[in-house]
Structure 1
Amino acid sequence: MTDLMTLLEVGGPLAALGGGTAYTRAKYPALYWSAVGGPISTARLLSSYTSVMEACGLTVAPSRLRVLAVKATTRREVRPVPPRRGIIRPTSTGLRIRLRLAPGQEPADVAASAERLRHAWGVHAVYVTTVKPGVVELRLVGYDVLRRVRMPRKTGSGFLKVPVALREDAMPFVRDYRTVPHQLTLGATLSGKSMYLRHLITGLAPQPVALVGIDCKRGVELAPFASRLSALATDPDEAAELLPVLVKEMEDRYDLIKARQGIAPDTPDGEITSDIWGLPESERPVPVALFVDEVAELFLTATRTDEERRDEMVTQLIRLAQLGRAAGIYLEVCGQRFGAELGKGATMLRAQLTGRVCHRVNDEASAKMALGDIAPEAVSAACAIAPELPGLAVAGDTSGGWSRIRTPYLSLGDAAEICRESAHLVPDLAALKRFRPDVSVRPAETPAPAVLPHPVTD
């Protein structure tokens, strides 16, 4: 009996502690990492740094001066020299540490050993970035941050910068329109493409930007944001009328830029510009973000008249993609599939879209359309996205870099409310007034009387 009581007294708290730790690790990974995982990984890194670097082949032979100094002062063995380690900086999702590479090493050597370092130090992933020549930063991620997305406090938001998702290295994925002016977003039904679009619109809504939408699904995707839109086309016929107006607006802005370039010879070089951002703020037109949902609907034709209309719209989209950046007009093209089979001009339009985001798709060919021409190795990552992970995507650009991202959940009601609160920021663009969607004003709720009236009887 005494032994049983002793077992319960000792084993009970241990079992409760172990169960609580396992529950915290599964349900609250950030808390588990801060309390348990982080200290354990830090201890592993400090105790095994030199041996791990040597096992990964990240050491170099010591210099002759070092060999002579060691032999003159001690009798211990002269070991290879690993990269010099900086201060370990803990974060809510992992650890950061900077390494100064030894002579003869390059960042690619460390990146090639990232998987070995992950297993040696017991973390979820290791990412390597170059800080400056000779210095790299290891970003150790303690758990799968994409399983339950939690955006960091510092997201790097700003004018025309929208933190729309979280990257797999726990850094925010920021959609920067000044850097990547046009983007193609692909995804099958229920893949999270609409959620990605919501974050873009709500991120731009509080900014002085004109939002224009083309939604050929009768507006079911973009109509909830009508209070913040400067123009909305809900079928191909309306889109055929809207696109020439945007092209004319772009041409007018180019005329404004050319007029600025033709100023007096004594004007300083800093005041001569080739885009709207070099114009004085008082003369600068507001930027325009054009959202095209289900772009394939613009390409589909049934009659010869539809083919003529299609060719005109595609030509105008290509002109906006080629020349719109300098005029402050940016494209967000979304669809389930976008390839040469859509018709003439599809491949040329896709080539102008610098940014690429590929959600879960129904076939490998669709992933190749989005990522195959910029990062072939990212195609397999896009094809491996499971249906149980909506919002997960692979983002890349024409530089060849890519990463996995996931968009946090944002309800349609909350997104529409943000647009309604920002409705007063809709810029005054005369050319787009006739395309401004009609917004029904919600009736004010009549407060209930404090005292209910009673009928007077004789």
Structure 2
Amino acid sequence: MTGTAIGLLAVVGLALLLKWRRPAWYWLAFGIALAAVRVLVRYSSVMDACGLTVPPSRLRLAWARIAHRPIPAPRPPRILAMRPTRTGLVLRLGLRPGQDAFDFAASTDRLRHSFTMQGVTSREIKSGVVELRMTGYDVLKRVQMPARVIREGLRIPVALREDGEVHYRDYRQVPHALNLGATESGKSVYQRQLVKELAALDVALVGIDCKEGVELYPLARRFSALADNADDAADLLDVLVERMAATYRIVRREQRISSDIPDAEITADIWGLPDHLRPVPIVLLVDEVAELSLFANAAEKKRRERIVTALVRLVQLGRAAGIYVEICGQRFGSELGDGITMLRAQLTGRTAHRVNDEASAKMAFGDISPDAVFAATQIPANRPGTAVAGDSTGGWVRIRTPFTSLRQAVNVCNANAHRTPDLPELAPFRPLPPTVSLVKIPTPTEAPASV
């Protein structure tokens, strides 16, 4: 066997090993070139087979008849640009007259098979331009967030999308959100990732954890207020509603609309206030919302009405006052009682992890997108953290949250404990820092104090 053959076998063996153990390395080393060649060679035939071509124009047909030439073949869309990424290829296409961007969105699954790619997504950049984003390997199998992500304002990275892009949670754009998921689906890890990213920002974190605080109390050093039972939650929500009303009074007092006030200084929310007057934004995280809606007697029913009414007020009016709500639970339907449907309608962002039944998925996406409902029911149990994220526009995407251990989140919260704002109205709900009680254990040489 010649040296060239041995070298070729070594390269092939290395490629197969990387494809099995390190698909990201394989893609950067070999996959990009192979995929680019495959797409360019198959492009015309694939577009024709998928029905994404247009017949020749009348002018071209007439010219072919005059010149006695063969009838021109159907024309595929023009390739405007092809750009490799760390996870796939981005193909930008210029549509021919008569083509529609919806046709490309409906053909993504056929394009995925034809080009032998892991996934294909389509979006319209502008009129007449469509972008096909292809992934070369399963990026959600082992989530690796990019080394450089954009953190700007209240826009934080929380997960990786199936097209290889970072999924952000932007509280200024989507102020309130719902996070659903069954037990062991990764819902708590998603919430933990939110807290870890928010801990480094100048915001106040407020939590309601009716599971005796087991999820949020380890992170208590970064929280301005925490409630671990329904009674405290009701009082805490009432305080937040009062703070919201006080914030609106500040905004109204500072408006001073007159003819000599510049348009840029007229505001209806906290973000237009001067820095010295702007209240600190608050992110409210509610874990296991169903525990706040259950009742067994008349007193608990009154408490439930207080809680639901306060939550509805916060999600309807809280955005302009800088109060953002993140609600988590296993189910969130009308069986939880009056006001729940009204509350859900105000939650623009929707994230559904693995659910136990189709009805739970419909609670998140039934009023938004039937396709998202189907995608949520297909999440396997062996991939915790995988979810379907959507919003009220009907768009949705598969995401997966990187695993964040409780120790990692605790370390970040402790390192940013100095950022925790001291809000006087929330002082009664300020969690005490966790302490360790040391118990002396007698050595074998010590006699017991009593028998």
- The TM-score normalised by the length of structure 2 is 0.91
Number of residue pairs the alignment of both structures matches: 437
Sequence identity (%): 55
1:352 shift after superposition: 1.2
1:19 shift after superposition: 4.7
1:285 shift after superposition: 0.9
Q: Structure 1, residues 191-242: CA drift from partner, whole Å, max 9, x if none? A: 1011100111111111110100000111100011101001001111111211
Following the alignment from structure 1 to structure 2, what is the Cα–Cα distance between the partners of residues 126 and 37?
16
Following the alignment from structure 1 to structure 2, what is the Cα–Cα distance between the partners of residues 310 and 249?
21
Contact 1:216–1:234 (CA under 8 A) maintained in structure 2: yes
Give the partner amino acid of 1:82: P
Contact 1:37–1:142 (CA under 8 A) maintained in structure 2: yes
1:278 shift after superposition: 1.6
1:441 shift after superposition: 6.6
1:390 aligns with 2:390: no
Q: Structure 1, residues 297-340: CA drift from partner, whole Å, max 9, x if none? A: 11111221111111111111111011101111000000111111
1:267 shift after superposition: 1.3
Following the alignment from structure 1 to structure 2, what is the Cα–Cα distance between the partners of residues 157 and 43?
36
Following the alignment from structure 2 to structure 1, what is the Cα–Cα distance between the partners of residues 229 and 83?
53
Following the alignment from structure 1 to structure 2, what is the Cα–Cα distance between the partners of residues 67 and 126?
34
**Which residues of 2 match residues 168-207 of structure 1 at below 5 A?**
168-207=162-201
Residue in structure 2 matched with residue 149 of structure 1 by the alignment? 143
Residue in structure 2 matched with residue 163 of structure 1 by the alignment? 157
Residue in structure 1 matched with residue 87 of structure 2 by the alignment? 93
Give the partner amino acid of 2:369: A
Give unmatched runs, 5+ long, in structure 2: 438-451
Following the alignment from structure 2 to structure 1, what is the Cα–Cα distance between the partners of residues 82 and 190?
34
1:265 shift after superposition: 4.0
Moved more, 230-239 or 359-368: 359-368
Contact 1:157–1:174 (CA under 8 A) maintained in structure 2: no
Following the alignment from structure 1 to structure 2, what is the Cα–Cα distance between the partners of residues 308 and 31?
59
Give the partner amino acid of 2:225: A
Following the alignment from structure 2 to structure 1, what is the Cα–Cα distance between the partners of residues 40 and 68?
23
1:388 shift after superposition: 0.6
1:120 aligns with 2:114: yes
Give the partner amino acid of 2:318: G
Following the alignment from structure 1 to structure 2, what is the Cα–Cα distance between the partners of residues 53 and 10?
38
| Cα separation, partners in 2 of 1:277 and 1:240, compared to 1, 3 Å | same
1:270 shift after superposition: 2.0
RMSD over aligned CA atoms reads 2.3
Say which of 205, 208, 232 aligns to 1:214: 208
Contact 1:292–1:334 (CA under 8 A) maintained in structure 2: yes
**Which residues of 2 match residues 237-316 of structure 1 at below 5 A?**
237-316=231-310
Give the partner amino acid of 1:339: G
Following the alignment from structure 1 to structure 2, what is the Cα–Cα distance between the partners of residues 356 and 59?
36
| Cα separation, partners in 2 of 1:10 and 1:382, compared to 1, 3 Å | same
1:105 aligns with 2:99: yes
Q: For 1:212, what is the secondary structure of its paired residue?
A: strand
Moved more, 327-336 or 15-24: 15-24
Say which of 196, 219, 225 aligns to 1:225: 219
Q: Structure 1, residues 240-283: CA drift from partner, whole Å, max 9, x if none? A: 21111100000001111111234444212221111111212221
Contact 1:165–1:407 (CA under 8 A) maintained in structure 2: yes
1:65 shift after superposition: 4.8
Following the alignment from structure 2 to structure 1, what is the Cα–Cα distance between the partners of residues 171 and 153?
9
Say which of 342, 348, 354 aligns to 1:354: 348
Q: For 2:236, what is the secondary structure of its paired residue?
A: helix
Runs in 1 of length 4+ with deviation above 6 angstroms?
9-15, 68-74
Following the alignment from structure 1 to structure 2, what is the Cα–Cα distance between the partners of residues 389 and 338?
23
Give the partner amino acid of 2:209: D
Give the partner amino acid of 2:84: P
Contact 1:186–1:359 (CA under 8 A) maintained in structure 2: yes
Following the alignment from structure 1 to structure 2, what is the Cα–Cα distance between the partners of residues 80 and 369?
45
Contact 1:318–1:348 (CA under 8 A) maintained in structure 2: yes
Residue in structure 2 matched with residue 408 of structure 1 by the alignment? 402
Moved more, 31-40 or 250-259: 31-40
Residue in structure 2 matched with residue 446 of structure 1 by the alignment? none
Contact 2:61–2:71 (CA under 8 A) maintained in structure 1: no
Contact 2:218–2:434 (CA under 8 A) maintained in structure 1: no
Following the alignment from structure 1 to structure 2, what is the Cα–Cα distance between the partners of residues 305 and 396?
37
Following the alignment from structure 1 to structure 2, what is the Cα–Cα distance between the partners of residues 417 and 382?
32
Q: For 1:86, what is the secondary structure of its paired residue?
A: strand
**Which residues of 2 match residues 360-399 of structure 1 at below 5 A?**
360-399=354-393
Following the alignment from structure 2 to structure 1, what is the Cα–Cα distance between the partners of residues 220 and 278?
25
Following the alignment from structure 2 to structure 1, what is the Cα–Cα distance between the partners of residues 288 and 139?
30
